[in-house]
Amino acid sequence: MISGLIIYSRCDVAVIQLLTYLQNVYKIHEDISMMKVLIIEDEISLQVSIQKYLTAEGSTCDCASTFDSAYQKLSIYNYDCILLDLTLPDGEGLQLLKYLKKLNKTDGVLIISARDAIDQRIEGLQLGADDYLVKPFHLSELNARINAIVRRRNFAGNNIVVFQEIEIDLNARQVKVNDTVLYLTRKEFDILLYFVANKGKVISKAAAATHIWGDDADMADSFDFIYTHIKNMRKKLTDAGCHDYFHSVYGVGYKFSLT
């Protein structure tokens, strides 16, 4: 992923409009996943540091350096957690919070602000933000707070997610089937968790790719690589004695369910 200042040209706007159209046509579901983070921060050095750290910890990160670029991403995508700097060069972060509320979105929000922005932090919490962190901060604490927000919102605060004979340990990033540990790749783990969290919903390949690969997914010629990852993961699951809960939906994608 290329980090830094994001500038939207007329071509970019056309791409955004096309993506919005595709979402409506294929009914892409991006309701819940594990650790897809939007970093809204105009201080590029801090943005890059956060992105590198969270990516190394297993998160998928999108970045926005301006109010406009953040607004565009929030209009198209859903995130597990949004890191929101309240002061942006072309607008106020609180307006983005109000926009999220207007859209009835359930994205988690962690405000990152200067030490003297007490009134803004209070207003942000009243508008629906989940937590705040005062600059400067340790990246390990930032990651811990993000994880706490995701657990509260997506998994009722639990570190262990269970679906039938599948047990997923969020902290250890470990999967067990009937108490047998499976050795999944990072992407396989993320895809499995995404489908378990969205069980019963039809998920398009595009939705899965966007959640797991973030902005990089837009550069792919096709989303056939999702099929390869799911095929490999299904084999590992069934070889361990797990029922195959992945059901192909012709022309769209997959559904993870009992039937």
CATH number at residue 210: 1.10.10.10
| Residue 86 phi, psi dihedral angles, 5° rounding | -75, -25
Q: What pLDDT was estimated at residue 96?
A: 93
- The stretch 132-156 carries a mean pLDDT of 83
Residue 68 scores a pLDDT above 90 = yes
Amino acid (one-letter) located at 227: Y
- CATH code of residue 49: 3.40.50.2300
pLDDT bracket for residue 259 (50, 70, 90): confident
Report yes or no on 26 lying in a domain: yes
- Domains contained in the chain, number: 2
Domain boundary among 154, 182, 207: 154
Regarding whether 175 and 94 lie in a shared domain, the answer is: no
pLDDT of 34 > 60? The answer is: no
Looking at the predicted structure, is the pLDDT value of residue 9 above 90?
A: no
List, as own/partner pairs, every contact residues 228-236 make where C-beta atoms lie below 8 angstroms and the sequence separation is at least 24, other chains included.
Answer: 229/185, 229/187, 229/188, 229/191, 230/191, 230/254, 232/185, 232/188, 233/184, 233/188, 233/191, 233/192, 236/182, 236/183, 236/184, 236/188
Predicted confidence at residue 7, as pLDDT, reads 54
Structural domain including 178 reads: 160-256
Q: What is the pLDDT of residue 221?
A: 58
Which tens digits make up the pLDDT trace of 198-255?
888 888 877 777 776 665 655 555 667 778 888 898 899 999 999 999 888 887 888 8
- Domain final residue, candidates 154, 189, 218: 154
Residues 6+ apart with CB under 8 A from 221: none
Using the structure block, give the residue that is written with the tokens 């594990």: 34
Compute the distance between CA of residue 131 and CA of residue 188 in angstroms, rounded to an integer: 30
Residues 16 and 128 reside in one and the same domain? yes
| Residue 1, in any domain of the structure | no
| One domain, residues 18 and 63 | yes
Q: Which amino acid is at 36?
A: K
CB-count burial class (<10 Å; 0-12, 13-18, 19+) for 245: buried
Residue 109, domain member (yes or no): yes
> Of 91, 120, 154, which residue is a domain's last?
154
Q: Are 87 and 114 in contact (CB under 8 A)?
A: yes
The verdict on 100 and 200 lying in the same domain is: no
Is residue 3 included in any domain, yes or no? no
pLDDT value, residue 52: 92
Tokens at residue 143, please? 């990651």
Q: Does 4 fall in a domain? A: no
pLDDT band at 33 (very low <50, low <70, confident <90, very high): very low
Mean pLDDT of 138-143: 88
Question: Same domain, yes or no, for 117 and 64?
Answer: yes
Q: What is the mean pLDDT of the chain?
A: 80
How high is the pLDDT of residue 84? 94
- Clarify whether residues 188 and 136 are in a common domain: no
Inside any domain, residue 113: yes
Whether residue 185 is contained in a domain is answered as yes
User: Same domain for 32 and 107?
Assistant: yes
- On whether both 173 and 134 belong to a single domain, the answer is no
* Predicted local distance difference test score (pLDDT) of residue 91: 87
Say how far apart CA 1 and CA 198 lie, in whole Å: 26
Q: Can you give the pLDDT at residue 239?
A: 92
Q: For residue 31, what pLDDT is reported?
A: 35
Q: Please tell me the predicted confidence (pLDDT) of residue 249.
A: 86
- pTM of the shown model: 0.59
Assess whether pLDDT exceeds 70 at residue 154: no
- Cα distances (Å, whole numbers) of residue 6 to 17, 25, 53, 130, 157: 17, 27, 20, 26, 34
Count Cβ atoms below 10 Å from residue 120 Cβ, excluding itself: 18
In a domain, 228, yes or no: yes
